[in-house]
Amino acid sequence: MTHAQIRLQQDFQPTPSTLEPTERLLHLITGAWASQIVYAAAKLNLADELASRPGTAGEIAAAIGTAERPLYRLLRAMSGLGLTEEDSQGRFALTSTGQLLRSDMPNSLHGFAALNGEDWHWRNWGAIVDCVKNGGPVFDRLFGTPVFAYLGQHPEAGAAFDAAMTSITGGWNPAVLAALEFPETATVVDIGGGAGVLLSAILEANPHLRGILVDLPEVTERAHANPRFAAAIKTGRCSVVGGSFFDAIPVKGDIHIMKFIIHDWGDEEASTILTNSRNALEAGDRLILVEQLIEPGKPAQLATMTDIEMLLFVSGGERTEQEFAQLLRRNRFELTKVVPTAAPVFIIEARAI
């Protein structure tokens, strides 16, 4: 059985398949409305407010400083989306799905929900027709600068992006860790590892490993603010080095890992990143990529939706297993295995040749 035939435990269903065609299409057309309702709930921190007890619209409005009637209508719409439930006394409580909008939940999606409704993010989806006609990314045309430069220039947007990435991918880390295998001793270099969320989790699960986080200096500052990563630094098992993956990797390690890095870049930029990684490894050393995969013949995929996000914002996109194999081979790596996880991501392992 080929990898593309392996079915993920979590299939992406943008709308229930049991709906009749007209209702199904209407569900898809109004999907943007649902996204904005979820965004409003996240920005108003409604799930946090409802975490301890049910409340009426009046009670919640008084607590968070909003108008009662509009808030009631928002909460009612949230019930229609399965996020809240209203009882006979007009009190709203969170459902199990709504609980995931709490900012303090281990698998919280609060940050991701808040990002998707921000104006600087939403405007790009409004330009999707222009993108399809003229090519992407449209972000550069709308804002006059690439998205990562914009995030560096706008701290509030950068913080929202970081929170979203931690939100959407942090909950997948247990599945990623379960699929990773490490030798008895090794130094793992997390390239572009951000705030060190994945690397700190790897070190906690594998006390025999050492780790090095490599990212831009302004990014690695945030890693020191991550309590779990700071704890790893104090033990002497981990260090932080400022650097760009577009330059020579300034440290030596046995295993390189990159999570959601390559998909941001087109083949030319991705080749630069992979070449820099290869030059810092010895023949036979391992490269681990954590990425989504496009699975040909499988229509319901989160990856195909994420691919459109990539089209709008960056030069990259989601790839198939074959495309990864070709890209790796061009940059002196041999694809050795692809491992599905319980989350909608894959472990792509390669050997330096």
CA distance 344 to 341: 7
Catalytic residue among 110, 121, 256, 263: 263
How much of the chain is in helix, strand and coil states, percent to nearest 5?
50, 15, 35
Chain centroid to CA 225 = 20
Question: Where on the phi/psi map is residue 279: left (φ > 0), alpha (ψ -120 to 50), or beta?
Answer: alpha
Cα–Cα distance for residue pair 149/243, rounded to 1 Å: 16
CA–CA separation, 285 and 281 (whole Å): 6
**Residue 27 is a catalytic residue:** no
User: DSSP secondary structure string, 127-194?
Assistant: THHHHHHH-S-HHHHHHSS-HHHHHHH-HHHHHHHHHHHHHHHHTTHHHHHHH----SS-EEEEET-T
Is 190:214 a contact under the CB 8 Å cutoff?
Answer: yes
Q: Distance between CA atoms of 62 and 230, rounded to whole angstroms?
A: 39
Task: Please provide residue 311's backbone torsions phi and psi, each rounded to the nearest 5 degrees.
Answer: -60, -40
Please state, in angstroms and rounded to a whole number, the distance separating the CA atoms of residues 315 and 318: 11
Q: How many angstroms separate the CA atoms of 127 and 142, rounded?
A: 9
| Tokens representing residue 177 in the block | 């860790």
Peptide bond into 174 cis (omega under 30): no
Q: Are 256 and 227 in contact (CB under 8 A)?
A: no
The helix (H) or strand (E) run that includes residue 302 is helix 302-313
CB under 8 A, 24+ apart: contacts of 321-324 = 321/3, 321/4, 321/293, 321/348, 324/262, 324/289, 324/291, 324/293, 324/348
Catalytic residues: 263
